[in-house]
Amino acid sequence: MAQQEEVFKKIVSHCKEYGFVFPSSDIYDGLGAVYDYGQNGVELKNNIKQYWWQSMVLLHQNIVGIDAAIFMHPTTWKASGHVDAFNDPLIDNRDSKKRYRADVLIEDQIAKYDDKIEKEVEKARKRFKENFDEAQYRATSPKVLETIEKRDALHRRFQEVMNAEGGIDLTGMKQIILDEEIVCPISGTRNWTDVRQFNLMFKTEMGASADGTSTIYLRPETAQGIFVNYLNVQKTGRMKLPFGIAQIGKAFRNEIVARQFIFRMREFEQMEMQFFIKPGTELDWFAKWKETRMAWHQALGFGAENYRFHDHDKLAHYANAATDIEFHMPFGFKEVEGIHSRTNFDLSQHAKFSGKKIEYFDPDTNESYTPYVIETSIGVDRMFLSVMCHSYEEQQLPDGQTRTVLHLPAALAPVKLAVFPLTKKDGLPEKAQEIINDLRFHFNCKYEEKDQIGKRYRRMDAIGCPYCVTVDQQTLEDNTVTLRDRDTMEQRRVNISDLRSIIEDEVSITSLLKKLL
């Protein structure tokens, strides 16, 4: 794990060094858990968004997009339950003055028991070698059984405090932290404050004069912009159930503990799709969307073993099924996307609070009802982080050198083709520029003439550019160039007129979309 943390640190500095992600307001030493995307980061991020948007809106005849405002009528958040219940339980350590999410401290403790069990199993596997019967060992080893019992007891207690009548039992939560002897990772002490609830929404004022102002919130999720537009879109688009509305946009959460780089930010971006369906069909659609979304992730080619579903034990009171898609980050399997069956909760609440009738008239059955909803919700930034983490490699080369390379899926890479003149004279730069002038309409090209070719290759490897072309003397004679592949580093001689057809297909989002059909 320590080694993995080391790798993660390197990825974070790589992101800064190569213009992917900078701390916000860097010259003022940054702002907690807020980040800016640089010249390469914005391209990668846009490609991720495009991949998602097109997979939703182009590939589904019954999904349309919207772009709702970040500011919404304050009643929206009363209706959605965020004003009253979008809270995290926080606890402070008096010695280190560090603040933690109490539920996360307990979840980490459960994970520690899980780790302990797995370590015992691995130890036994090594000891017994080919005679090892894992199932039997798990069922009979006293050490494993004792840890499982402790883990399950803690899990049960945690469920009880989280699902207590009238909301989370904060006193019970603190008692668990004390009983489990959980210490602050910084101070190493158990000198904890009580657990308190903390609302995650940012507030601001709208309007200039004191009496004309109203408190409004920066949206903590984009979903509500879709729900309040359900009638507008359904009517103007003459949409028939089932249909979906997709949206990409910023969301804001005043996270208590913002750690792990762009994994948990206070300003982030979501890609959400709400799929409106007939009540009673939700579990079928939930299963369908789980499958569709997992296929979207896996089409990137990062390996099925790096994804898993994590079904929720604790369902929000309005949900009747929920799962996360988790990705294997350097700091463990972590949520990148949530898929939720939200019943008709949101639409019914907005109907109640707005006094408007929000229903669907079903022409097939001649009845009116409030549609049910399946939501798919993914964070752009977490997706970005998973792509970065999986692509980053410090590669040992056969000649003893190392190179840092980002094996980005070509369709997501910020720059698709770099064109280098071998030298800065003899008309080579002009020839290289000519190639770019022709290809720049089709994909993102970059011209580089500084430093030796080897160094230029390394710079392109570091930003994940899948192809480099070198223009040399021979190019002037026969219009051929060397085309170098980022991953294999192989070079071949190709005709300039063939470049577009060789590269375009592979670097286009369409190539990914085709894998989904």
The answer to whether 297 contacts ligand ATP (rule: CB under 6 A) is: no
In sequence order, what DSSP letters do the residues of 103-149 get, joined into one string? Answer: HHHHHHHHHHHHHHHHHHHHHHHHHHGGG--HHHHHHH-HHHHHHHH
Q: Single out the residue of 218, 226, 228, 336 in contact with ligand ATP (rule: CB under 6 A).
A: 336
Residues sharing a CB contact under 8 Å with residue 509, sequence separation 6 or more, in sequence order:
47, 50, 51, 54, 411
Listed ranges 49-57, 113-121, 147-155, 330-338: which one lies at the site for ligand ATP (CB under 6 A):
330-338
Residues sharing a CB contact under 8 Å with residue 448, sequence separation 6 or more, in sequence order:
418, 419, 420, 456, 459, 460
Q: Beta 392-396 vs 360-362: how paired, if at all?
A: unpaired
Pick from 78, 17, 44, 32: which is nearest to 466 by CA?
44
The answer to whether 51 contacts ligand ATP (rule: CB under 6 A) is: no
Listed ranges 188-196, 231-239, 331-339, 504-512: which one lies at the site for ligand ATP (CB under 6 A):
331-339
The answer to whether 90 contacts ligand ATP (rule: CB under 6 A) is: no
Using DSSP, state whether 429 is helix, strand or coil: helix
Residues sharing a CB contact under 8 Å with residue 46, sequence separation 6 or more, in sequence order:
none
Listed ranges 49-57, 260-268, 398-406, 502-510: which one lies at the site for ligand ATP (CB under 6 A):
260-268
Q: Single out the residue of 23, 244, 249, 338 in contact with ligand ATP (rule: CB under 6 A).
A: 338
Listed ranges 139-147, 376-384, 411-419, 469-477: which one lies at the site for ligand ATP (CB under 6 A):
376-384
The answer to whether 381 contacts ligand ATP (rule: CB under 6 A) is: yes
Helix crossing, 102-128 with 170-179: angle to 10°? 40
The answer to whether 15 contacts ligand ATP (rule: CB under 6 A) is: no
Listed ranges 54-62, 118-126, 332-340, 420-428: which one lies at the site for ligand ATP (CB under 6 A):
332-340
Listed ranges 333-341, 349-357, 402-410, 475-483: which one lies at the site for ligand ATP (CB under 6 A):
333-341
Using DSSP, state whether 378 is helix, strand or coil: strand
The answer to whether 344 contacts ligand ATP (rule: CB under 6 A) is: no
Pick from 339, 304, 305, 344: which is nearest to 322 by CA?
339
Radius of gyration of the chain (CA): 27
Q: Output 103 or 461, the one with its CB closest to ligand ATP.
A: 103
Q: Single out the residue of 264, 290, 390, 486 in contact with ligand ATP (rule: CB under 6 A).
A: 264
The answer to whether 265 contacts ligand ATP (rule: CB under 6 A) is: yes
182-221 residues near ligand ATP, rule: CB under 6 A: 221
The answer to whether 255 contacts ligand ATP (rule: CB under 6 A) is: yes
The answer to whether 374 contacts ligand ATP (rule: CB under 6 A) is: no
Return the residue nearest ligand ATP (CB atom).
379
Interface with ligand ATP (CB under 6 A), residue total 16
Q: Output 377 or 470, the one with its CB closest to ligand ATP.
A: 377
Q: Looking at 267-400, which runs of residues are DSSP E strands?
A: 267-277, 307-311, 321-329, 332-341, 360-362, 367-369, 372-379, 392-396
Q: How far is the CB of 132 from ligand ATP (least distance, A)?
A: 36
Q: Output 32 or 427, the one with its CB closest to ligand ATP.
A: 32
Residues sharing a CB contact under 8 Å with residue 318, sequence separation 6 or more, in sequence order:
342, 343, 345, 346
The answer to whether 270 contacts ligand ATP (rule: CB under 6 A) is: yes
Q: Single out the residue of 330, 371, 379, 409 in contact with ligand ATP (rule: CB under 6 A).
A: 379
The answer to whether 375 contacts ligand ATP (rule: CB under 6 A) is: no
Residues sharing a CB contact under 8 Å with residue 50, sequence separation 6 or more, in sequence order:
509
Q: Which residues of 188-218 are buried (b: 16+ CB within 10 A; e: fewer)?
A: eeeebeebeeebebeeeeeeeeeeeeeebbb
Applying CB under 6 A, which residues contact ligand ATP?
221, 253, 255, 264-265, 268, 270, 335-338, 377-379, 381-382
